[in-house]
Amino acid sequence: MKLDIKRAYNFNAGPSALPLSVLEKAQQELIDFRGTGMSIMELSHRSAAYEEVHNQAIARLKDLMGISEDYEVLFLQGGASLQFSMIPMNFLGEGKKAGYVMTGSWSEKAFAEAKLFGEVAQAASSKEGKYRRIPRLAEIQYQGDEAYLHLTSNNTIYGTQWKEFPATGNVPLIADMSSDILSKHVDVSKFSMIYAGAQKNLGPSGVTVVIVRKEFLEKANSNIPTMLKYSTHAKNNSLYNTPPTFGIYMLGEVLGWVQEIGGLEEVVRRNEEKAKVIYDAIDHSNGFYIGHAENDSRSLMNITFNLKSEELEKAFLAQAKQEGFIGVNGHRSIGGCRASTYNAVPYESCKAFSEFMEQFQKQNG
C-alpha cells in the first residue's frame, strides 16, 4: 500500500527523518508481523521471531560498518546521555584518569559526568572560538596512560565534524557518534568503543547502539549496578532484560534500507551531494548567510548558519516554516539556523531548501 500523503521537508536534528520505504514496510507488518498474528510490539522478546529480528539488526550493522569479531554490538536504553555516565562508571575510578576533547555541548555534558567518577582532563578544546572547528590532531594532549580518550565525532549543535581521528596508540579511543554514525566510512578498529543514540541515522529514539571491543570490556569495573555494566548486556546479547523491541526492529529495517540502496558508498555519495547544495547556497550568498563552522570542520550532517541580523533570521525562520521546512531553527542553546541532513533526508528536500534560501536572499538581500 502506498501512502498518499505529502511528506514534510524534515530537517529535524533528532528524532529525524526515516526512510519512507521503511515506514511503509513497518505499516504493512504492523498488525500481523510475518504471519505471527501479532505486531512486533506484542511478541515476546524471547520468541524465535523476535530473536531473528534482533540478531539480523546486529549482523547488518556489523556488515555495514565492517565490525570485526573483536567487538560486541549492544542495544541499550537511556540514550547517548546515559553513556556519558556508563563510560566513566565502567572504565574510570580511583587512580585512573581520562581525557576529553571538547568540541561542543555534548562533549561538555560527557565531561561533566565523567568528573563525578574520576580524574578527567581536557585534551583539547575549541570553546574559545565558539566551537567553530575541530581541534587539529597535533593540538590534542594527553599523557599516554589514560583509561581512555573521549571525543564527539559530529557536533550536532555547532555543526562541526571530525574528518580524521587521532591514532591514540595504547590509549583506548571512545567516540560519541550519535549524529554521524553510518554516514561515512569509519575504521572501527581505531576505536575501543563507539556509541550512538539511534534517533538520527539509525532509527527511532529509544535504542542506543554501543560497539565495544571485547578486550576493553575486560578492563571494566565490576562494582557497579548490574544494568549499568556493559558486560551484563554483552553476556546476554542485549537480552538481559526486555529490550526496546520495536525500536530495534526499525533499526534493523533502516540498516536493510542502507544495504538495499548500495551500502555506505551510496550513503556517502548522497550525503556529500545533499550537504553541498546547502553549503553552496551559503557560500554563494556574498555573506548574506554566514556559516558557523570553519570550512575544514564543516559537518555533512548538521549545517549551521546565521543571517546578518536577528530580525532577518526571525523572518527567514518564519518563512521557512510557512513553506514547509521543518526543524531549521538552531538548537535552543545557541539559536541561528540549522539544517540536519541525516541519511534518510532525501536530496529533494535539500535542493528545495537551498532554492528557498536563494529566493529569500533575492527578496531580502
Ligand X SMILES: Cc1ncc(COP(=O)(O)O)c(C=O)c1O
Q: Catalytic residue numbers?
A: 106, 176, 200
Whole-number Å distance between alpha carbons of 232 and 172: 21
Q: Are the CB atoms for 243 and 223 separated by under 8 Å?
A: no
State which residue, 201 or 354, has the beta carbon closest to ligand X: 201
The annotation status of 156 as a binding-site residue, yes or no, is yes
Q: Are strands 173-176 and 160-161 parallel, antiparallel or unpaired?
A: unpaired
Q: How far is the CB of 312 from ligand X (least distance, A)?
A: 27
Task: Give per-residue burial for 5-26: e unless 16+ CB within 10 Å, then b.
Answer: eeeebbbbbbbbbbbeebbeeb
Q: Are strands 289-291 and 302-307 parallel, antiparallel or unpaired?
A: antiparallel
Question: Judged by CB under 6 A, does residue 103 bind ligand X?
Answer: no
State which residue, 197 or 243, has the beta carbon closest to ligand X: 197
Q: How far is the CB of 303 from ligand X (least distance, A)?
A: 14
State which residue, 21 or 205, has the beta carbon closest to ligand X: 205
Residue with cell 585512573: 96
Whole-number Å distance between alpha carbons of 12 and 340: 6
Question: Judged by CB under 6 A, does residue 183 bind ligand X?
Answer: no
Whole-number Å distance between alpha carbons of 18 and 191: 27
Which one of the spans 21-29, 74-82, 166-174, 261-269 is the region binding ligand X (CB under 6 A)?
A: 74-82
The annotation status of 364 as a binding-site residue, yes or no, is no
Question: Judged by CB under 6 A, does residue 247 bind ligand X?
Answer: no
Whole-number Å distance between alpha carbons of 174 and 187: 13
The annotation status of 162 as a binding-site residue, yes or no, is no
Among 9, 11, 12, 14, binds ligand X (CB under 6 A): 14
Q: How far is the CB of 196 from ligand X (least distance, A)?
A: 8
Residue 360's H or E segment, with its range, is helix 347-364
Question: Judged by CB under 6 A, does residue 179 bind ligand X?
Answer: yes
Among 19, 79, 172, 336, binds ligand X (CB under 6 A): 79
Q: How far is the CB of 24 from ligand X (least distance, A)?
A: 26
Q: For 10, list phi and psi in degrees, rounded to 5.
A: -100, 110
Whole-number Å distance between alpha carbons of 49 and 72: 22
* Per-residue cell: 240: 538481559
The annotation status of 241 as a binding-site residue, yes or no, is yes
In the region spanning residues 305 to 344, those forming contacts with ligand X, defined by CB under 6 A, are none
Upstream peptide bond of 204 is cis (omega within 30 degrees of 0): no
Q: For 178, list phi and psi in degrees, rounded to 5.
A: -50, -40
Among 16, 85, 156, 231, binds ligand X (CB under 6 A): 156
Which one of the spans 73-81, 139-147, 185-193, 224-232 is the region binding ligand X (CB under 6 A)?
A: 73-81
The annotation status of 213 as a binding-site residue, yes or no, is no
The annotation status of 280 as a binding-site residue, yes or no, is no
Q: Are the CB atoms for 211 and 204 separated by under 8 Å?
A: no
Question: Judged by CB under 6 A, does residue 80 bind ligand X?
Answer: yes
Q: How far is the CB of 359 from ligand X (least distance, A)?
A: 30
Question: Judged by CB under 6 A, does residue 81 bind ligand X?
Answer: yes
Among 176, 249, 285, 337, binds ligand X (CB under 6 A): 176
The annotation status of 46 as a binding-site residue, yes or no, is yes
Among 71, 75, 91, 106, binds ligand X (CB under 6 A): 106
Q: What are the start-end ranges of the E strands in the chain?
A: 9-10, 71-76, 97-102, 119-125, 148-152, 154-155, 160-161, 173-176, 193-197, 208-213, 289-291, 302-307, 325-326, 337-340
In the region spanning residues 187 to 226, those forming contacts with ligand X, defined by CB under 6 A, are 197
Number of residues counted as binding ligand X (CB under 6 A): 11
Please give the residue ranges that form the binding site for ligand X (CB under 6 A): 14, 79-81, 106, 152, 156, 176, 178-179, 197
Annotated binding site for pyridoxal 5'-phosphate: which residue ranges? 80-81, 106, 156, 176, 199, 241-242
Annotated binding site for L-glutamate: which residue ranges? 46
